[in-house]
Amino acid sequence: MSPFPAINGGTQGPPPDEVLQLIEQSLSANTRRAYLSDLAHFEAWGGAIPAKPATLATYLADHADRLRIATLVRRVTAIGKAHEARGLPNPVRSELVRATLRGIRRTRGTPQRGARPLLKEDLGLIVDALDTTLRGRRDRALLLVGFAGGFRRSELVGLDRADIAPVREGLVVTLRRSKTDQAGHGRTIGIPFGRTRWCPVTGLEAWLSSSGIESGPLFRPINRHGHVASGRLSGEAVSIIVRERAAAAGLDRRGYSGHSLRAGLATSAARAGVPSWKIRTQTGHASDAMLARYVRSGELFIDNAVSALL
């Protein structure tokens, strides 16, 4: 099913099917699924493509108390994309819809809740609590590499064995595609040997040696009989591993997710005084503005004014 449903209308008619297929390929699989869900929700409410600005504004107002701001923004983005892909006027660009969104943000907006960062010290507690079973070695490698690379969960589970190259200083990881690189230009990340017992390089080497993985997905499911599957872990599996391993180490699992590894690296590095441009080199954040919330969190207690008083 296409996120850009066939409709009648448009000054020049809908574009050919092959054009629509290319447009769909410009979106990641996760984004396509999200857009399909958003459009289905709009249609179930009573909306249709094409939609008038007044209809879209009413839809937003009807759901302002039930949906998060981020969800509403994604829904109108999907609706707008569906219009533009068919050569129709985009109602999302109208002042009526924009003003409705501004009003919702002002009257009902809440601060964005990000994933709880998995800080270096807590990561160490989790890793120290792992056993040496095959599953334990996989999770050790997953957590340490995910943290050291500042990877999004989709990037982490998308890695293949061929993307890992050992060098004298550690590992060079080739990230072939990411959320901010849908064109697949790729980038490389250096993961050095660690100076502590939480070395990501040795952790990954132990997993590869134990699993016998020589090609294909790097991180894979393990069944109840201890057999490694041929497919790759899902992004949600990363979140489950982070939460379950945190709880097993005696930590409160609430707030942790697959994004906690990426957030944890950025926050921990900021606390250690690493310059923001160096952090961005590792995480791939496009700008200091995108990284700012982690840096602010990491610097809350650095030279805190209260420390000089109490």
Where are the chain's structural domains? Answer: 17-108, 120-298
Binned average pLDDT, 10 residues per bin, the chain of 310 residues: 50 53 61 84 92 94 87 90 87 93 80 77 96 96 96 94 95 80 73 93 96 95 92 93 95 91 91 87 78 68 64
Q: Give the model's pLDDT for residue 99.
A: 93
- Active-site residue, 294 included: yes
Confidence at residue 205, expressed as pLDDT on a 0 to 100 scale: 96
pLDDT for the residue 274: 87
Phi (first) and psi of residue 191, to 5 degrees: -120, 105
**Cβ proximity of 134 and 140 under 8 Å:** no
Predicted TM-score (pTM) of the model is 0.68
Q: Which of 75, 245, 262, 271 is catalytic?
A: 262
Give the DSSP letter of residue 93: G
Supply 1's token pair: 């099913």
124-130 contacts, C-beta under 8 A, 24 or more apart: 124/196, 124/198, 125/249, 125/250, 125/251, 126/245, 126/246, 126/248, 126/249, 126/251, 127/198, 127/203, 128/197, 128/249, 129/245, 129/248, 129/249, 129/250, 130/245
Nearest-Å Rg of the Cα atoms of the chain is 23
Candidate list 152, 153, 232, 271, residue with the active-site label: 152
SS3 (DSSP) at 167: strand
Catalytic residue among 179, 185, 278, 296: 179
Active site residue 152: yes
Cβ–Cβ contacts within 10 Å for residue 267, how many?
25
Instruction: Write phi, then psi, for 248 (nearest 5 degrees).
Output: -65, -25
225 is catalytic: no
The CATH number of the domain covering residues in 120-298: 1.10.443.10
CATH (residue range 17-108): 1.10.150.130
Say if CB 46 and CB 54 are below 8 A apart: no
Among the options 153, 220, 259, 271, which is catalytic?
Answer: 259
The pLDDT, as a whole number, for residue 261 is: 94
Tell me, yes or no, if 285 is annotated catalytic: yes
pLDDT score recorded for residue 7: 44
